[in-house]
Structure 1
Amino acid sequence: METNPYAAPEATVDDVRAWDAQGLEERKASRGKRLGAALLDGAINLVWAVPVFWGAVMAADVGKGIKPAAPTGGVMLLGFALLAAIFVVNCVLLHRSGQTLGKRMLDIAIVRTDGSRMGLLRYIFIRVLPVGLLGAIPYIGWLASLVDPLLIFGNERRCLHDLIADTIVVDV
């Protein structure tokens, strides 16, 4: 067999994102890492929530005739700007690598069960929205909101939103 001396070199390169369906089971993220990522995401959300709520409290004080220590609108505007920034960063990360900021810090990612990339639209409309709508049902919504995270303790270590969206959280 003749080889072309001018051809590009051929090599097998293992890409971090090239998941194989059999290897996903061994790469599943631990319950502790998933909890840690959720807690980190919650802490990151405090970055925008604190200024918004602080501004709201100051606005209520202004309504009672108390002079605020800082400009109320400016504090709330800062909070909403931080909310927008965190939202955009998380959307970009989810679209590119299946990670939120918290998941990225703990080196875990969301992928489809066949190992393919999970897109942003799938995350929003199939992973988040159905469980959110179930949770909004009066009188029984709390049950869906309770069952969703508790399913992590099953053999598959997948929450209800993972089962609905056909996704799995794996170590990167």
Structure 2
Amino acid sequence: MEVNPYAAPQAPVNDVVPDTSGSNEYLNASRGRRLGAALLDGLMVLAAFLPAFFWGFSSALRSSTSGKVPGWCGVAMLLILCIVAAINCALLSMYGQTIGKRMLGIKVIRTDGDEVSLGRFIFLRFLPVGLLGRIPLVGPIVTLVDCLMIFGAERRCLHDVFADTIVVYVKD
């Protein structure tokens, strides 16, 4: 067999990140598990808001002030939002997981296998896409691109690329 000196070099490329504990390798999480975790996180937030929502609006229906929602309802919802955010921030900083990711056995790590800091979660993974998503006309496109990038070969969304992270299965 003849060797072509002008051929491009050939090298194996592995898409699997080595485990930092030295035991095995991580496998990228499936798209279905990532979607399921996002849906579970959304359901958790909805479940947290529903009691304050129904209590506030039932109070508004019973009151004689022309159906206005009491001010405490907004304060209660803001407090619930802060509690849910604090729980998720604590889980992200300790385990690299939200409640939904933890339930489905996946977590977020850096592409080199290191743990992700809370600052990287907030300022590189969440904030850029969140802010870009608020720009009129451009925002919906950025949000759509962020979601659709999961269908690429690496299964990484735009926020994963910004933060240099991947979502992987957790070993038991």
CA distance in 2, matches of 1:47, 1:74: 19
**Alignment of structure 1 residues 6-155 onto 2, 5 Å:** 18=20, 23-24=25-26, 27-54=27-54, 57=57, 61=61, 62=63, 65-66=66-67, 72=70, 76-155=74-153
Q: What is the TM-score with the length of structure 2 in the denominator?
A: 0.75
User: Which ranges in structure 1 are unaligned for 5 or more consecutive residues?
Assistant: 1-16
Question: 1:52 Cα shift?
Answer: 4.6
Match for 1:36: what amino acid?
G
Q: What is the identity percentage for the equivalent residue pairs of Structure 1 and Structure 2? A: 49
SS at match of 1:18: coil
After superposition, the Cα gap between the structure-2 partners of 1:58 and 1:76, relative to the gap in structure 1 and judged at 3 Å, is: farther
Letter in 2 for 1:23: E
Checking the alignment, whether the CA contact within 8 Å between 2:93 and 2:117 is kept in structure 1 is: yes
Q: What CA distance in whole angstroms lies between the structure 2 residues aligned with 1:49 and 1:63?
A: 25
Q: 8 Å contact 2:125–2:162 — kept in the other structure?
A: yes
Distance 1:65 1:125, change over 3 A: same
The 1:57/1:170 distance shift into structure 2, 3 A limit, reads same
Name which of structure 1's ranges 41-50 and 158-167 shifts more when overlaid on structure 2. Answer: 41-50
Aligned equivalents of 2:68, 2:124: Cα separation in 1: 47
Tell me the distance in 2 between the aligned counterparts of 1:73 and 1:94: 32
- Aligned pair in 2 of structure 1 residues 157, 78: CA closer, same or farther (>3 Å)? same
Q: Report the secondary structure of 1:37's partner residue.
A: helix
- 3-state SS in 2 of match to 1:29: coil
- What is the CA–CA distance in structure 2 between the aligned matches of 1:171 and 1:78, rounded to whole Å? 36
Q: Secondary structure at the match of 1:138?
A: coil
Q: Please, which moves more after superposition, 101-110 or 48-57?
A: 48-57
- Indicate how the Cα distance of structure 1 residues 133 and 78 shifts in structure 2: closer, same or farther if over 3 A, else same: closer
Cα distance in 1 for partners of 2:126, 2:56 equals 28
2:4 is matched with which residue? none
Paired with 2:119 and 2:165, the residues of 1 have a C-alpha distance of: 13
In structure 2, the CA distance between the partners of 1:41 and 1:114, relative to structure 1 (3 Å rule), is same
SS across alignment from 1:111? strand
Partner residue, 1:163: 161
CA positional deviation for 1:76 = 4.7
Alpha-carbon distance between aligned partners in 2 of 1:67 and 1:131, rounded to the nearest angstrom: 35
- 3-state SS in 2 of match to 1:163: helix
Q: Tell me by how many angstroms 1:74 deviates.
A: 5.4
- 1:120-152 Cα offsets, whole Å, 9 max, x none, are 110000001100111111111100011101110
Q: Secondary structure at the match of 2:156?
A: coil
Does the C-alpha gap of structure 1 residues 107 and 66 become closer, same or farther in structure 2, counting only changes over 3 Å?
A: same
- Paired residues, number: 150
Q: Is the 8 A contact 1:111 1:167 kept in 2?
A: yes
CA contact (8 A) 2:53 2:73 kept: no
Equivalent position SS for 1:117: coil
